Amino acid sequence: MDHSRSEDWLGLLRNTVASYREMIDRTIEQLSDDELFARPAPGMNSVAIVLRHLGGNLQSRWTDFLTTDGEKSSRNRDTEFEDWDGDRESLLRFFNQGWNALTTALDSINDGNVGNVIEIRGEPHSIPQALVRSITHLTYHVGQIAMTARMVHRGNWNWLTVAPNESKQHNERTWGTAESRSVFSKGDDVR
């Protein structure tokens, strides 16, 4: 099967984004509502605050990204770092709106538009540049989510990556396969 170069790297990005979403989901499902909204220390963000920020960022960046600036005038970034005044379900709905904007945008990129220049805060970006910027931002915050969750969680933790003292077993089980890269790998094949 012939694939265009953009289909190849976009497929890899889609799989990467999906693996980070799975990491987010597996993290927050381990948290009680109190833990989700808990700040580990004064001045630090809760998992809920980071989810709120990501939802706002992704919705702004990727809604109508081909025709509007990625920093929407309707976005109020500063409020994203305030405590969420709703419940878990309303927070996750807000986060999912942003997440869906990203995945819809990824699905809409093709050979016909991948060369377009878009803007974020008035700065021109190639679409690949904007995607790298957004996905590195996403991965930064996924690390924060995981670390904050570990700090506020009471009880046993289900590891999201290779658990401590299990590297040898992981390598024996996954050596030479895509699964060796991540417990959430979808089997990207570069051959």
pLDDT digits (tens, 9 = 90+) for 150-159: 999 999 999 8
Domain ranges of the chain: 5-154
Question: What average pLDDT does this structure show over 6-30?
Answer: 92
Strand segments (E) across 16-165: 117-120, 123-126
Residue 186 pLDDT > 90: no
Question: Which pLDDT score, from 0 to 100, does residue 62 have?
Answer: 98
pLDDT in tens, 165-184: 888 888 888 888 877 766 55
Q: What digits encode the pLDDT tens for the residues 73-121?
A: 999 999 999 999 999 999 999 999 999 999 999 999 999 999 999 999 9
Residue spans of alpha helices (H) in the chain: 5-28, 33-37, 47-62, 88-108, 127-152, 167-174
124 or 191: whose pLDDT is higher?
124
pLDDT at 3 over 60: no
| pLDDT surpasses 60 at 190 | no
* pLDDT of 187 above 60: no
Over residues 26-76, the pLDDT tens digits come to 999 999 999 999 999 999 999 999 999 999 999 999 999 999 999 999 999
pLDDT at 1 over 50: no
The residues, ordered by sequence, that sit 6+ positions from 155 with a Cβ below 8 Å of its Cβ are none
The second-level CATH assignment, the architecture, of 5-154 is Up-down Bundle (1.20)
Contacts of 11 (CB under 8 A, 6+ apart): 3, 188
Can you say how many angstroms the Cα of residue 25 is from the centroid of all Cα atoms in its chain? 10
124 - beta bridge partners? 119
| pLDDT for res 8 | 85
